[in-house]
Amino acid sequence: MSTHQRTLGAALVLALAAGLAGGAAATAATAEAGRTPGATRLQEILDRLTTVDGGPGALLDVRDRRGGTVLTSGVADVRSGRPVHPESRFRIGSATKMFTATVLLQLVGEGRVDLDAKVERHLPGVVRGHGNDGRRVTVRQLLQHTAGLPDFLDHLKPQEIVRDPLAHRDARDLVETALAHPPVFEPGTGWDYSNTGYLLIGMIIEEVTGHPYGDEIRRRVVRPLRLRETSVPGESPDIPRPHPRGYAHTGENAPLLDITRINPAVGGAAGEVVSSGGDMNRFLAALLDGRLLHPAQLREMTTTRPTGGTDGRAYGLGLESKPLPCGGRYWGHTGDFLGFETASGATAGGRQATVMVNAGPGGSDAQSDDIGVALETALCQGRPRTSR
C-alpha cells in the first residue's frame, strides 16, 4: 500500500475522534469462501484484516475474462452485526484521481488541452503568485505530482470539519489554503504527492468544458461503461445502498468512530467518488483495454516516474504502477477517505481486483500491508511465476 499519500482521513481523524461520538467495537463474521485453494488463501487474508488488523469488514472483488469472485469478511455495521454485502458501495478516496485524469486525457485527445501547457493558460492568476515559479507549472506536472505544490490536506484546520462535517468546502478555497505556503520544490524537479494538483485539474476540466467535473466523469466514463454503482456525490453525505458504515480507529483498544456521513466535496476531484468492487474492476479493464483513451493518451498515462520509495512504485498520469511478487507489474491506485481504505489494480493480462476495508485511517500499518497482500495475491492467482 502507498505510504506517500496524504489523505483526507489521515489529516482529520484525530480531530474527529475528539469531537464526535464513537461507535462500538467490531466483531468478525466471515462469508462463505470458495473451495479452491486460491479462494481459501484470499479468504484467510480477508479474515486477518477483520480480526488481527482490527477492520470491521472487508471485501475483495476479483475478475478476469472467465468471470469473477467476491469474498467478504467481518461486518458492515458493528452495532447490528450486518454482514458486508458483495455489491457494497464505498468511498474510493484517491482512486478518484484515475477518473479525473481519464477525463482530462480525453480532452487532450480532443485537442482541447495540451499536457505541457502552463496552468496559467486555463486558470489565470490561480497559481501565478506561488513563489517565483508558479507560472511554470504545467498540466502534466499536476497530473504526475511533479509540480511542487503543497498539499492542502497538510494545512486544513481539522477542528472546522469537526464542528460541521456536512459543511460546503469550495475547491478554490482549498487551493488557496495550500498555495499560501511555500512550494515543496521548483516545478518539474522532484516528485511529491499533492491532492492540490487534482483540485486544479478538476477546475481545468470545468474551465474547458463549461460543466462541473463530476458531470464530465458521469458523461464520459460512468455512463458509457454502465457503472451503475459509481457516483460523484458532490455535496451529498449519503452513500447509495447497499453500503457498509465507515469507521475510523481512534486509538489502541479504543472504540471505532462512525464517520459514514460527511460532505465528500472536501475531497473534490482528488477523492470524491463512490464506487464498488465490480465497477472499479470494470473501469480498470476498460481503461487498460483502450476503451476510454486513444493510444497516444494511454501511453502518456502509463509513462511513469519513480516515486522515491523502495517498493518499485512508479506514478504515471493519475495511475500507479507496482511490481507483482509473481513477476510483471500491475496498474491501479490506492484510496483512503474517512471511514474507508481501498486498493484497486489490474494486469495487462486482463485480471482486475479491488479490496475494501470499512475503516480508515488511524489503523495499524498491518491493515494497509494486508490490503496490499490481498490485492497482489488476487492479481497473481492463475499466472505462472516469472522472474522480475
Cell numbers describing residue 93: 478516496
Residue 360 neighbours by CB distance under 10 Å: 31
- Chain-centre distance for alpha carbon 17: 22
Phi, psi torsion values for 240, nearest 5 degrees: -60, 145
Known active-site residue 94:
yes
Sequence-distant (6+) residues with CB within 8 A of 287 are 98, 102, 293, 298, 319, 346
Cell numbers describing residue 48: 486477518
Phi, psi torsion values for 45, nearest 5 degrees: -65, -45
Angle between helices 37-50 and 365-380 (to 10 degrees): 170
Cell numbers describing residue 224: 458509457
Q: DSSP secondary-structure letter at 58?
A: E
Query: What is the distance in angstroms between the CA of the first residue and the CA of the last residue of the chain?
Result: 19
- As a whole number of angstroms, the distance between CA 287 and CA 297 comes to 11
- As a whole number of angstroms, the distance between CA 51 and CA 334 comes to 22
Tell me the chain's radius of gyration from C-alpha atoms.
20
- Chain-centre distance for alpha carbon 230: 13
> Among 100, 115, 124, which residue's Cα sits nearest to residue 214?
100
- Look-up of cell digits 508558479: 134
- Look-up of cell digits 495475491: 377
Sequence-distant (6+) residues with CB within 8 A of 303 are 316, 317
- As a whole number of angstroms, the distance between CA 51 and CA 29 comes to 9
Kindly list the distances between the CA atom of residue 385 and the CA atoms of 138, 285, 332, 382, in Å, as whole numbers in the listed order.
40, 22, 21, 9
Q: Which of 88, 94, 194, 321 is catalytic?
A: 94
Sequence-distant (6+) residues with CB within 8 A of 19 are 159, 162, 163
- As a whole number of angstroms, the distance between CA 61 and CA 68 comes to 7
- What are the residue numbers of the active site? 94
